[in-house]
Structure 1
Amino acid sequence: MPTFETEGFELFYMDEGPRDGPPILLVHGFASNIMVNWVDPGWFSTLTGAGYRVLAFDHRGHGRSDKPHDSALYTPQAMARDAFALLDHAGVQQAVFFGYSMGARVSAFAALARPERVPALILGGLGMGLVEGVGDWDPIAEALLASSIDDVSDERGRMFRNFADRTNSDREALAACIKHSRDELSEEEIAQIDQPVLVGVGTKDEIAGSAEGLAALLPHGRAFAIDRRDHMLAVGDRSFKAAVLAFLAEVDG
């Protein structure tokens, strides 16, 4: 199992496609992993088929990576450092960051912190929630720690508890992650992200916030509406794949 070390943790990763292809780093969402977020929905095959070198990793606390239970270890800044540690491990100086949901938040923090290493950015499943927040997630932490899903009444809590159970996740690690991984960026910080940015959000997504609103704050942002898709289904949408490929072809050109 390929792993790399970052800040004392061993994180699982994948690195596929032509080594001389333009690199793209996939950054998955909360309670997900490489397989659920990127392999099963067809992103690896789509991007490698288009000639890209595709890297991805399981966040700390997720998938096949180490799973600490200390909530202080799960800031977007720390997870952005994990992303750069993978690029260092793979010998990649620059890569387009493509994040979904929590992964989009981590990618935005990464682009702001090290712009010279992030030439372009794709934010899926996160719009104005990056600035305004994504609601009260304390019920989700409570749902993750509940002894049984039958004890969970909150609708969003049940959704994420079901998802965590389906992915055989360490629910205590996820509950720790959710406490500090939702840091927001100010409008002034968003305005400093000068790279080309594609923001894709499902039209039925009640979590992400407005893609158009976030794109308007970005100097070089554009919004893409993923028609009739909610937060869970938008990631694998065929029209979103086409929009991402068109965006990548433009920034690569």
Structure 2
Amino acid sequence: MPSFNSNGYEIAFMDEGEGPPVLLIHGFASRYRVNWINPGWVDALVKAGRRVVAFDNRGHGDSDKPHDVGAYRLGAMAEDARNLLDHLGILRADVMGYSMGARIAAFLALAHPERIKALIFGGLGYGIVTGVGDWGPVVAALEAEDASTVTDPIGLMFRKFADQTGSDRVALAACMKATRQPISADDLSTLKMPVLVAVGEKDELAGSPQALAEIIPGAEVLEIPKRDHMLAVGDKAYKAGALDFLKRKGLG
């Protein structure tokens, strides 16, 4: 598995296919294989004639996993994404992030708008502005010695997911403490690239996709039928809607 050095951290990545590039940024406690390869995203995009680039965020997968909360500032994680584009010689790409990955994509778009042709926020609506909910129980669940002592349902969901993916729970807890920071509506309103907000109909974590789209000029909404936060990412309606959007608005 290839990797590169981004500001002192080794970041694992993949680069597959030929054509206009699309950069994929996975969600919290996941990795690019879980978010993008296993659900069929990479195959679908490559078959659509795209070059697909994805990476394991710091603290995740096969990338370095610092335990320092300060290492997980969203701006720093967004720079990992930009540095990967630089490493591969990609001047401009379409970008899709899911959940935490959508937050990272937003920071990338605000800091380096010239690098993004079209942008997809997956699994995150107006919660990008409000921060949505108390994530303390998730941190507590990740730091618990015994998973059987976790009673909070959201915390337990993320703890089980972290255990299933063999994650470094200390690194994930540090990441969660740093990455829940909201992004102002005023900042998001300055985005000029085409934006799609794709959220599951039953997603209780994301916040309203319509409310987010209303503050971003020209943004579109894709509601993924009958799916919650965890199941929406691999849904065929999400893939179809995203591919259509990228064909109309992106580099394809």
Which TM bucket (shorter chain)? over 0.9
Residue 180 of structure 1 deviates from its aligned partner by 0.8
Corresponding residue number in structure 1 for 2:38: 40
The residue identity in structure 1 corresponding to 2:217 is P
Q: Distance in 2 between matches of 1:34 and 1:65?
A: 11
Pair 1:232 & 2:230 matched: yes
Corresponding residue number in structure 2 for 1:63: 61
Per-residue CA deviations over 1:19-71 (Å, capped at 9, x if unaligned) read xx110000000000011100000000000010000000000000000000000
Residue 205 of structure 1 deviates from its aligned partner by 0.4
Per-residue CA deviations over 1:177-232 (Å, capped at 9, x if unaligned) read 00111121111101011110000000110000011110111012111100000000
Q: Distance in 1 between matches of 2:220 and 2:107?
A: 18
The residue identity in structure 2 corresponding to 1:97 is V
Give the 3-state SS of the residue equivalent to 2:23 in structure 1.
strand
Return 5+ residue gaps in structure 1 as ranges.
none
Task: Please show how residues 116-135 of structure 1 align to structure 2 within 5 Å.
Answer: 116-135=114-133
Per-residue CA deviations over 1:81-133 (Å, capped at 9, x if unaligned) read 00001001111011111000000010011101100001110010000000011
RMSD: 0.7
Task: Please show how residues 1-253 of structure 1 align to structure 2 within 5 Å.
Answer: 1-18=1-18, 21-251=19-249, 252=251
Per-residue CA deviations over 1:143-176 (Å, capped at 9, x if unaligned) read 0010111110111000000000000000000000
Q: Distance in 1 between matches of 2:175 and 2:11?
A: 15
Give the 3-state SS of the residue equivalent to 1:228 in structure 2.
coil
Give the 3-state SS of the residue equivalent to 1:120 in structure 2.
strand
Q: Distance in 2 between matches of 1:4 and 1:206?
A: 36
The residue identity in structure 1 corresponding to 2:11 is L
Q: Distance in 2 between matches of 1:142 and 1:185?
A: 24
Q: Distance in 2 between matches of 1:70 and 1:209?
A: 29
Q: TM-score, normalised by structure 2?
A: 0.98
The residue identity in structure 1 corresponding to 2:68 is D
Give the 3-state SS of the residue equivalent to 1:110 in structure 2.
helix
The residue identity in structure 2 corresponding to 1:16 is E
Q: Distance in 1 between matches of 2:200 and 2:246?
A: 20
Q: Distance in 1 between matches of 2:100 and 2:206?
A: 10
Q: Distance in 1 between matches of 2:240 and 2:195?
A: 15
- Percent identity over paired residues: 56
Q: Distance in 2 between matches of 1:177 and 1:187?
A: 23
